[in-house]
Structure 1
Amino acid sequence: TTPPRPETARGILLLPQDSIGSVEKCSSMTHRVLTYVPGLYKIFDEILTYAADNKQRDPSMDSLRVEVDVDQCCISIYYNGRGVPIELHPEEGLYVPEMIFGHLSNYEEITGVKLANLFSTEFIIETVDSRLEKKYKQAFSENLGKKNWTRITFKPDLAKFHMTHLDDDAMALIRKRVVDVAGFLGVTVQVVFNGQRFQRLKNFPDYVLCYISSASIDREERLPKICQRVNDQLEVCVTRSEGTFQQVSFVNKFATNEGGTHVDYVSNQIAACIAKFCSRHFKVEECEVKKHLWVFVNAFMENPTFNSPTRDALTSPQESFGSSCELSDHFVKSSM
């Protein structure tokens, strides 16, 4: 039988897999095999994605900085632009930053950034609201500014993830996710990781080019890149793989490392078009074509559903996507 869903902080800590995913190490394939803890990745990704979403709340945001102190096991994420309003919530009587990051009510499902707080030995929120001329800082644990900014600092409780330190694989995955976010935010936001400024990426095709350039290093010629912005909800790029289907995909900025229905929807269309074209000369199955595709999908949709709390794969049915994927003739022909 399925155990009841935990409704309290104690319940979540006892059954972390129901809220942040497994706290055991597992393997994931990118450019190399690495081991990582989905739960730790989850709480970092919640904070990073929350910070990146501020670009939609305030287009003037032009800076995002991530600092990871391995020795102190401390992660800090800073972004500028209009952040969290420093004012009392009219009903709860608490400041809004505390409501967002640290208030655990008995009737609320604990999700998002609050999970990072719950699974940290120390969690600090700092934000400046120049409109109200206020600065807010609050630390959870066992001065006025001219510009708006927010910094969230937390120390993951590594014991909860059966880890003793942030190892090389964890750092590689964290860095990769920061590059992901740089691709979403575009040239107007300078993204910095541990003091290193990332190259500004104009758009999703620029982000895809990071993969293709790396994969083309030992080749005589660069892998091709065919891209199409289908609509406001969907961007697609495709190149060749080495005989095994590969995918890099996102839903609402979250990385769907195992793909899902959005990737199947796009890749099956491409494979079907190529198989149909090839059938003029010889018979080829769509599944054989798909083995040679490396597909990149960037999707946005309302109320997506996933296979797990870590959002590894999208499970939303095609009819709930909110838009259709109509690939242009140029895209299809170029893919051949």
Structure 2
Amino acid sequence: MSSDSDISFVDEPPVKIAPKKMKKTANKVGGESILNGDNDNSNKINKEDPMKVFTNIDKSTKRLSIEEIYQKKSQLEHILLRPDTYIGSIEFTDKSLMWAYDEEEERIVQRELSYVPGLYKIFDEILVNAADNKQRDPKMNLIKIAINKEKNEITIFNNGKGIPVVLHKVEQMYVPELIFGTLLTSSNYNDSDRKVTGGRNGYGAKLCNIFSKRFTVETSSKEYGKTFKQTWINNMTKDKDAAISKATTEDFTRVIFSPDLEKFKMSVLDDDIIALMSRRAYDIAGSTRGVKVYLNNKLLPVSDIHHHFIFYGKN
């Protein structure tokens, strides 16, 4: 007879058992002494009836409840629990040959390195957003990227048209908050529009926010005459009230974030990931015509894609 409880009783009729030497152990579980020639504590003898044996002693084998087996998670919880579905692996890759920026030689080289794809992905989401703004605003001509290893802080700035600083009538929140702090929101849901930009699935920059300890967005919209600044902390679980003020005469958007390195099994932005991020900055400089790209306050000497490939080798 079986039972769903931790302890079940198995009744056995008395039978003759051939004599066998058993070694008494000094172990006791719940007051019952244990007899076992192999010193195995998997069964216990019942004091009142020696022929009744306790089974399923290991509570780790307890049956899970329906509620424990089937669980509903919020989308934010699901992203954090299953990051590989959204940003790729959060484990270090095996060392392999990759193109990376060599700071000493000041060029792109091929070398062996190991990195975390998920961390690279969230950086690239913000960088591609900045480059995409050139498609929306042909007058945009500047991208600035800063990687601060000591502070674990990355900043990406572009001087293209700012995000509309206006209250969304349906969602009752400002558009920048909708874009950067609310899942499944996007400006790319109209399938009749021709797509030349990088994102369309409603995750994008929010993934960077979710995998950051701190995430700040600041934008200035000349069209709406306002600036917007808001900060989220602890994987987008908390936010501070947005600060709204009068806009200057300039358009811009700046994103500053501190990756949650523990989620990527890292303690610091290491040289390999910085080398890959730096190479990506060169990629953007070479592929975004008419835009000057700065990396850590240094203008990258790349004006077009052909010039860009010069940096992928000595010749």
TM-score calculated relative to the size of structure 2: 0.63
Q: Which runs of 5+ in 2 are unaligned?
A: 1-69, 100-109, 190-200, 235-245
- Aligned equivalent of 2:171, options 87, 92, 96: 92
Deviation at 1:12, TM superposition (A): 1.1
Q: Closer, same or farther in 2 for the Cα pair 1:6/1:46, shift >3 Å?
A: farther
Matched, 1:206 2:298: no
Equivalent residues of 2:184, 2:203 under 8 A apart: no
> Which residue of 2 is the match for residue 62 of structure 1?
141
Q: Closer, same or farther in 2 for the Cα pair 1:147/1:176, shift >3 Å?
A: same
Matched, 1:168 2:235: no
1:187-242 Cα deviation digits (max 9, x unpaired) = x211000111111413x22222222xx243xxxxxxxxxxxxxxxxxxxxxxxxxx
- Structure 2: which amino acid aligns with 1:189? V
Q: Secondary structure at the match of 1:36?
A: coil
- Structure 2: which amino acid aligns with 1:76? T
CA distance in 2, matches of 1:65, 1:6: 37
> Which residue of 2 is the match for residue 21 of structure 1?
88
Matches within 5 A, 1:200-239: 200-202=302-304, 204-211=305-312, 214-216=313-315
CA distance in 2, matches of 1:168, 1:4: 40
1:25-58 Cα deviation digits (max 9, x unpaired) = 1134221011110000000000000100000000
Q: Secondary structure at the match of 1:72?
A: coil
Percentage identity across paired residues of the two chains? 42
CA distance in 2, matches of 1:149, 1:95: 17
Deviation at 1:110, TM superposition (A): 5.8
> Which residue of 1 is the match for residue 222 of structure 2?
130
Deviation at 1:68, TM superposition (A): 1.0
Q: Closer, same or farther in 2 for the Cα pair 1:4/1:38, shift >3 Å?
A: farther
Equivalent residues of 2:282, 2:302 under 8 A apart: no
CA distance in 1, matches of 2:182, 2:156: 20
Q: Which runs of 5+ in 1 are unaligned?
A: 217-336
Matched, 1:191 2:293: yes
CA distance in 2, matches of 1:56, 1:15: 33
> Which residue of 2 is the match for residue 151 of structure 1?
254
Q: Which has the higher helix share?
A: 1
- Structure 1: which amino acid aligns with 2:86? S
CA distance in 2, matches of 1:41, 1:35: 12
Larger radius of gyration: 2
Matched, 1:117 2:220: no
- Structure 2: which amino acid aligns with 1:155? S
CA distance in 2, matches of 1:105, 1:215: 44
Number of residues of Structure 1 aligned to a counterpart in Structure 2? 209
